A and B are shown apart, each in its own frame.
Chain A
């Protein structure tokens, strides 16, 4: 039972983790892309459609990544070349993604999907308990972990990461030192788009292998919030994503568990206690728990204001126009 719960936690956390780690890179470069939800849903529909038409899950995943990148390229062109407002452009990207995905997905509603195969890591997958949980997952789960490691290492241990952080911290200085702010930001935006597309593919090819309109259901927004609450630190994004996943799953189980207030155990309690239990066990309250718990924990770990300040990209959302 516990094993099964852990498995569902991983499935719930993976799309958030992947989308958030991509957005983290974008924001570290100083760009705020609020279009994660739109890029994600486009990844989901394109991934599903291509997998369905070709019968290949791998091709579906590649197509989803390409779709996410195409959306982000549009965003990048608008905010970097035409210097449009980042917030408005990101919101428009989300609206476009939700609408356009509904149009593409029209033909695929109710069509049975194709689920990505689980990859059993030889040897490791046979370890009792840990084997099934950690080493019998589909490729995207592994890829998610690899991405976190790659981004964490890349940001803080490589020159490319240093330049990326520098551009996000002070684009004027980075430009004065001769770095191409626009090019670096465009690359970061494309990476974010690819991650969002991949997260979308996970939704429609692994999480629930089917196409349902608006199936990303706000996960892009959660991913955005996670990045901020995680103080732009990759490992904290992992904590946030898993915490959110865990509480989501627990609350599904809690909702399945019927509270019987008329039972002899509870009948002697005073009215306000039974009232509180009644409210606490309503499905609406339980559904809000993942949000509350994640915000609470991430606020607590970001209490170190100095660390947060140093990690906040100072140029986040500011337009950059080089003078020549």
Chain B
């Protein structure tokens, strides 16, 4: 309770600094309940004109619920929203758009089968003639430095361009408030810089931006004001330019977040445990990426990270290494044994472990209990889960408890179904299930995607500890902060080509960005 008291005092002070007369959106006591869970509990939020306002909080803190109420896709159970000084009811997204509220979604709200103009026309109340709209799109997108071809079909476009479509779609609605949910998670550093320029220009023109991000560095860099949610309540407001990423993180979590560091302990580099030799594969579908002669040696004791913008072959590379997509035998070696044609179970028996990107549906079966999900990946790895063709339920449940405890997986009841876990908790479980084996080779795709700061720090530290204990770890990630935090060496994947892995100390964000934007490709072709 004491904590709440100080917060209120803090609140009052900050509010006095911010004059209320510029308020564009003023939310008072917004409350939303889903069943037993209070997703938003009397949330107050003021967004001023021309302000880039950060909304921070861990997963499940209620950020998405709050912005969905602003955008009219959820009805509040209590509280009121004032827009430009007048109370409004935002019943549906069309009403929000009429007010001038635009939204760029985290999981894109684009239609893959349609082209750029069609996608944008769907969001405009009066799109008019399609040919004229196409011209307008090309003009506006170029004007803001986000060029688009109006007749490209979305399915053919990389994620960075898809996000441009979302932003241009928003801009064409001439919004007064743009809500952005994790906009930079799919961008190269250069693309992110371009986005920040666009946002600053919009703010200069008087447009307000509500910015949701887990990347605290960029929040500090571009945001004017921050509101921090925890368990559905506003716990703090602050000026992020006067904070550090660490202090912002501890406000979100409510406790200090342990700093993760790969350099604290120098790696003892050992023998090659995972070797990729000229790994090539054709694209399986028109929307997949071909792998082009990828070579990499992963040694015991080190963490190698592969950076890259989504959709550049990360999924295909993961599938080839894990055995979901068979390739020529000599292309992949685990501890010196050629295994390109071997299946996943064979590779697991070789002490390799794999954590795919999609935790629900790929990493875990949603409708199965956690203990059953453990049996699925560890039935053949000598964990005593199977004897005489029968599953040892007891052993599975022992392991389930052990993993939950070691990786701080929080569940509402004993051995729940995988689908009932929040994203961060399920990720901790899926990673923990493999780490619990002490694998010799760990390949992990997007280890902390959509995971809050506390859980992310735990996962990253565990991955580093595993490598330091003599295993080889390959991390595929789109989060550069994460990569620089944990990697000993960094390679970049671009259009199915992999650049040479270079020591992290020699790499800069700029260089990684250039490799992402096609430099890796040029390097790969030369090699």
- Tell me the A residues contacting B by CB distance below 8 Å: 159, 162-163, 165-166, 169-170, 172-179, 305-306, 309-314, 323-324
Query: Which residues of B113-134 are within 8 A (CB) of A?
Result: 113-114, 118, 121-123, 127
Q: Which of A173, A174, A310 meets B155, CB within 8 Å?
A: A310
> Is B92 within 8 A of A178, CB to CB?
yes
> Is B105 within 8 A of A310, CB to CB?
no
Contact status of A323 and B74, CB under 8 A, knowing A165-B114, A170-B112: yes
A residues less than 8 Å from B74 (CB atoms): 323-324
> Is A310 within 8 A of B111, CB to CB?
no
Q: Which of A177, A306, A309, A314 meets B122, CB within 8 Å?
A: A177
Q: Does B73 sit within 8 A of A, measured CB to CB?
A: yes
> Is B72 within 8 A of A178, CB to CB?
yes
* Main SS class of interface, B: loop
A residues less than 8 Å from B114 (CB atoms): 162, 165-166, 169
A residues less than 8 Å from B72 (CB atoms): 178
B residues less than 8 Å from A162 (CB atoms): 114, 118, 121-122
> In the complex, what distance in Å separates the CA atom of A179 from the CA atom of B124?
12
> Is B111 within 8 A of A170, CB to CB?
yes
> Is A311 within 8 A of B113, CB to CB?
yes
Could you say which interface size class chain B belongs to?
20 to 34
B residues less than 8 Å from A165 (CB atoms): 111, 113-114
A residues less than 8 Å from B122 (CB atoms): 162-163, 166, 174, 177, 179
Between A and B, 15 residue pairs with Cβ closer than 8 Å are A162-B121, A169-B111, A169-B112, A170-B111, A174-B122, A175-B73, A177-B122, A179-B122, A310-B112, A310-B153, A312-B113, A314-B112, A323-B74, A324-B74, A324-B75
> Is B113 within 8 A of A310, CB to CB?
yes
Q: 7 new A-B pairs (CB below 8 Å) besides A178-B93, A309-B287?
A: A162-B121, A169-B113, A170-B109, A170-B111, A173-B109, A176-B105, A177-B109
B residues less than 8 Å from A173 (CB atoms): 105, 108-111
CB proximity of A77 to chain B, nearest CB, Å = 23
B residues less than 8 Å from A159 (CB atoms): 121, 127
CB proximity of A160 to chain B, nearest CB, Å = 12
> Is B97 within 8 A of A305, CB to CB?
no
B residues less than 8 Å from A175 (CB atoms): 73
Name the CB-closest residue of A to B107: A172
> In the complex, what distance in Å separates the CA atom of A26 from the CA atom of B112?
19
> Is B113 within 8 A of A177, CB to CB?
no
> Is B73 within 8 A of A306, CB to CB?
no
Contact status of A176 and B110, CB under 8 A, knowing A159-B127, A309-B285, A324-B74: no
> In the complex, what distance in Å separates the CA atom of A312 from the CA atom of B92?
29
CB proximity of A254 to chain B, nearest CB, Å = 40
Query: Which residues of B80-122 are within 8 A (CB) of A?
Result: 92-94, 97, 103, 105, 108-114, 118, 121-122
The 10 closest A-B pairs by CB, nearest first: A178-B93, A173-B109, A178-B94, A306-B286, A169-B111, A169-B113, A176-B109, A310-B113, A166-B111, A178-B92
